[in-house]
Copies of this chain bind each other. A is one copy, B any other.
Amino acid sequence: MTFSDRPTLWAVVMAGGAGTRFWPLSRRNRPKQLLPFAGGRSLLAASVERLPPLVPFERVVIVTNAEVADAVRLEVPEVPAENVLVEPVGRDTAACVGFATWWLARRHPGAVLVALPADHLVPESAALRMALAAAAATALARGGVVTLGLRPTRPETGFGYVEVGEHVGDAGGLPVHRVARFVEKPRLDAAERMLATGAFRWNSGMFAFTVEAIEGAIRRHLPDLAAGLDMIFASDVDLDAALVAHYPALPRVSLDRGVMEKADPVWVVPVEFAWSDVGSWPGLAEAVGAEGENVTLGEVVSLDAQGSVLISDGPLVAAVGVADIVVVATRDAVLVVPKRDAQRVKELVERLRAAGRNDVL
């Protein structure tokens, strides 16, 4: 069974998010998914362009926020402008997927949808499409909700995990398992134990479900969200005005915590393709470069630099004798941080915000 020639498979690309960890390249009006981290192309463009032929552009829905909506439309002009749904404010992934689901339900009630983030790097597009097709087929054949389970490569404490349960069958050449349980972002020792058992997968944030199944699950597990979305999509109001009026009051919760962890059944399709969420500057280096190599972007000159991330979006960056450091230069701000401290960029951005430096945020 394949979805490539069926009109009912839609993709929802979640393209909200601020991406402060990529400051100073990321800004309020240019978050991570618009940065040229996919071989010079933006993560968003790469995410959208790897969907066809499984999902043609006219069945791609992008959910984003008002600050970047215009930039998003310019970045992926192949996607019809009316398919770009604009949240007045971000309310996490449950509201995001709910928004797209309610929108789709009123147009294509029989649709199956895959939901995926706009800011992941997946070099093997064909393998991703095969996995999404398998997940969508599972959602259609078995009901419930489906997640892709990524093979963990390190005891990561920044991701949620799923324990892979009973093998219930196959779809599109990939095995399908029941999810035994969800594990929220663990502590390091717990992550190490899970990695050692071999029974756990990273919860990818890539899902499949029928419109009916996810709408039903949201009504059951997040009734406040469902009520808010019902108000927004009431037939006699203007959608934009209704969004501004009611979206900010939607509950702020992730789809994983708010729906997936409570839904039943939940299926997992374990996948093996290379994947990176490019969560930080060193993550970018790992995703695109070999150990010890420099990752450079833009105008960079270096003498004896190693293992460093050297990025310019304007001024010439000249690095001499540096190791394992991140340098990111833009016209109005320059970041220098050793790789091991890169997660503190968030703290720095908070400090700039507190100091009223919106001019560089």
Contacts and interface: CB of A to CB of B under 8 A. Distances in A.
Contacts of A336: 317-320, 322, 325, 327, 336
A334 B332 CA distance: 12
Interface of A: 24, 301, 303-304, 312, 314-322, 325, 327, 329-338, 340-341, 344-345, 347-348, 351-352, 355, 357, 360
B340 A321 contact: yes
B329 A315 contact: yes
Contacts of A329: 315, 329, 334
Of A315, A316, A334, most buried by chain B (CB within 10 Å of CB) is A334
Contacts of A314: 332
Nearest to A333: B316
A298 to B, nearest CB: 11
Nearest to A319: B336
A321 B336 CA distance: 9
A195 to B, nearest CB: 28
B352 A301 contact: yes
Nearest to A360: B316
B320 A341 contact: yes
18 contacts: A24-B316, A301-B352, A304-B341, A312-B334, A314-B332, A315-B329, A316-B332, A316-B333, A316-B360, A317-B334, A318-B334, A318-B352, A320-B337, A320-B344, A320-B348, A322-B325, A322-B336, A329-B329
A63 to B, nearest CB: 31
Nearest to A326: B320
Given A337-B320, A351-B301, A331 B344 contact: no
A337 B304 CA distance: 10
Contacts of A338: 320-322
A230 to B, nearest CB: 45
Given A321-B338, A329-B334, A334-B329, A348 B316 contact: no
Contacts of A321: 337-338, 340-341, 344
Contacts of A317: 333-334, 336
A316 B303 contact: no
Among A336, A337, A340, A352: residue with most chain B CB under 10 A: A336
